[in-house]
Structure 1
């Protein structure tokens, strides 16, 4: 399973993978301009009627002094009578980074944790692979994705398996990160390290700091949360994947998987308030200052993402800075299994759009087109209705291509794993030999059991069904439409291998 990131959302759809001065103030309005909202609502409704698009959508537009415009359609869970509303919570994944960027700016101003603090100042004994130098990597580098580090294991574990305690980060940074080329590269690692560094320096975790320093001052603590366990389950929307014929549910993230790079659920109400605050349309009181938002929004990294229509050339502490038809915008998106979201701000128009759907049915491409259209509509541009019509017309083919790609990958992976016509059917003894408790220091404890589902494995928040492929080899499926991963069993050695890690038997311990 791959970690969906904003870089994938942009880089895959574009050619590769600030605060702006305001124009003349928009006169106060009694409502958001329908010339903006009507084409967007029409497009969202048209796509939602298509089989396999998305069960539920929440969109909100803010503009000047007008009350927000909401477009929330669909159930909290398909088949349930309860409809979603402006207080329903959706997982917004990597949009968390824009919140963390503001947190970083606030704590810098307050002197709690200056952004020019280095990793060596937080962890004096930290060693990184050469030529990476903890004395030269700052917290600002982390939040702007210029830290020069990369990792596969830490991203995967925190997103899909378990929480890594802040105290363990120095150990895993020494063994699990590699040095990459300098400059900007979007990934989770920077925000993950910032969250751990914040706790190491202050003794309080990023969840508590975000609540105290950002969410509470913006009156968002009841509309944005990093701890879903503290929310009534009926407020959290379910996520889904489409296999071409039916929906496959994806369980909402648990607290253990809510990390600093992708760890927030938010409502349409919450995203409206969030956009208004970032656009300077609402009062954050004395706790937050305009300079906090300016610091978080000012581009500091060279992003260089473009499809020839929209150019995202900069990245701040948590926002891409983009240009479309000569108009400037800030944006950040988020994607995870069964959900895709994005938020775009157009400071010159004092307007913003936040959009989230509870499926990953080729949504990145569609939401990118909606984002472009919104920038144009908010600034009085022409031709955006036609852009949205084209995006709607193109959607069935996009979805069909995704379904075909997933099916092909599944067939090919099974064929590669099975080899020449293997039809291995292990007996009870062969299965039993691979059961028990296995452990890897980074991933944690892997429990393998034999039951009604056959052989299953549980590790952290992840449940896997192990399908026999050939002697000693299983295909580990997690219930999503992603390709199963190989897991090998060596009972004589007391070892399971999965994702390049050796889990050793803990029998008798």
Structure 2
């Protein structure tokens, strides 16, 4: 199945295989109309999925700088119903709290919605025992959407404010990123169609998992966020790709996204795709930024 790509970055003209991918490409400010208007027409909102984690991690950094939240705080101090064997907010942010990808009993993402039922923090309280029993060894890396859901809930408890309100105040101010939302208009969402029917996304934006993957925005705001992270040298929540180069991906039901930033080289790239497998956007950006444009 042919995917649809949407790209922005630095370099020169993309290779032929990218020109055939029917997306929209922005390289050094030059825009080429390879867009598939069925999916990526003007005004559509794109799903960030797990790229949202870099925003949540940055929020923790900003709250620490403002002396509002200490990353060394135990999760149990802020969420007493969760006994996570000494795990701190920093452990959650670095995926070292020993938590699984999703909560115990979550639906399979292939045929169901793994976020179904996780509408509020009471969801975490109701499953506190199961969550605690799913914890493995503290300090070992274990990628976890559940950990970021708990991190968002903990910061809400520490501040008395909703996670998205905190994001707007400290990381993505409305005047600079006006389209960012966790409640996208259903008619503006960039989603694929299969057999003529539009596929609904997982409900990750509707409850506690929004801190792990719930953001949507225009492509312009997504690209603006990537450039801002590059220029400010943000690294919290990012993974190292190679020396002085960082990345984060996101994979939802039918969409994928990747951002690569190289602050020292002042380079960045963004790819958003539909109906492609995990890591497709990452592989594409690596090719675009480091193989074809050396």
Whether 1:39 aligns to 2:17 is no
Alignment of 1:194-273 (within 5 A): 194-216=151-173, 219-220=176-177, 222-228=178-184, 231=185, 233-240=186-193, 246=195, 249-253=198-202, 255-256=205-206, 259-273=210-224
CA deviations on 1:349-368 (whole Å, 9 max, x unpaired) are 211111112223x3x35423
The answer on whether the counterparts of 2:270 and 2:285 sit within 8 Å (CA) in structure 1 is no
Partner of 1:188: 145
The answer on whether the counterparts of 1:192 and 1:260 sit within 8 Å (CA) in structure 2 is yes
Partner of 1:122: 78
The CA deviation at 1:342 is: 0.8
Counterpart-to-counterpart distance in 1, 2:221 and 2:147 = 25
Counterpart-to-counterpart distance in 2, 1:71 and 1:331 = 26
Counterpart-to-counterpart distance in 2, 1:94 and 1:74 = 24
Of 146, 149, 155 in structure 1, the residue corresponding to residue 99 of structure 2 is 149
- SS state of the match for residue 38, structure 1? coil
The answer on whether the counterparts of 2:99 and 2:144 sit within 8 Å (CA) in structure 1 is no
The answer on whether the counterparts of 1:240 and 1:338 sit within 8 Å (CA) in structure 2 is no
Whether 1:73 aligns to 2:73 is no
Instruction: Provide TM-score, normalisation by structure 2.
Output: 0.81
The higher-RCO structure (CA 8 Å, 6+ apart) is 2
- Closer, same or farther: CA 89–155 of 1 in aligned 2, 3 Å: farther
Alignment of 1:472-487 (within 5 A): none
Q: What runs of 5+ residues in structure 1 fail to find an aligned partner? A: 1-31, 49-56, 78-82, 281-289, 298-316, 382-509
Counterpart-to-counterpart distance in 2, 1:217 and 1:114 = 26
The answer on whether the counterparts of 1:272 and 1:354 sit within 8 Å (CA) in structure 2 is yes
- SS state of the match for residue 95, structure 1? helix
CA deviations on 1:21-65 (whole Å, 9 max, x unpaired) are xxxxxxxxxxx86xx24125x3333234xxxxxxxx45555x6xx
- SS state of the match for residue 348, structure 1? coil
- SS state of the match for residue 83, structure 2? coil
The answer on whether the counterparts of 1:218 and 1:273 sit within 8 Å (CA) in structure 2 is no
The CA deviation at 1:347 is: 2.0
Whether 1:165 aligns to 2:120 is yes
- Closer, same or farther: CA 366–167 of 1 in aligned 2, 3 Å: closer
- SS state of the match for residue 356, structure 1? strand
Over the aligned positions, Cα root-mean-square deviation in angstroms equals 2.9
Instruction: Provide TM-score, normalisation by structure 1.
Output: 0.49
Larger Rg: 1
Aligned residues between the structures: 277
Whether 1:373 aligns to 2:292 is no
Greater strand proportion: 1
The answer on whether the counterparts of 2:102 and 2:144 sit within 8 Å (CA) in structure 1 is no
Partner of 2:3: none
Partner of 1:354: 270
CA deviations on 1:224-280 (whole Å, 9 max, x unpaired) are 21221xx4x443212345xxxx56531245552562111011222112211221122
Counterpart-to-counterpart distance in 2, 1:203 and 1:143 = 20
Q: What runs of 5+ residues in structure 2 fail to find an aligned partner? A: 1-8, 108-112
- Closer, same or farther: CA 101–125 of 1 in aligned 2, 3 Å: closer
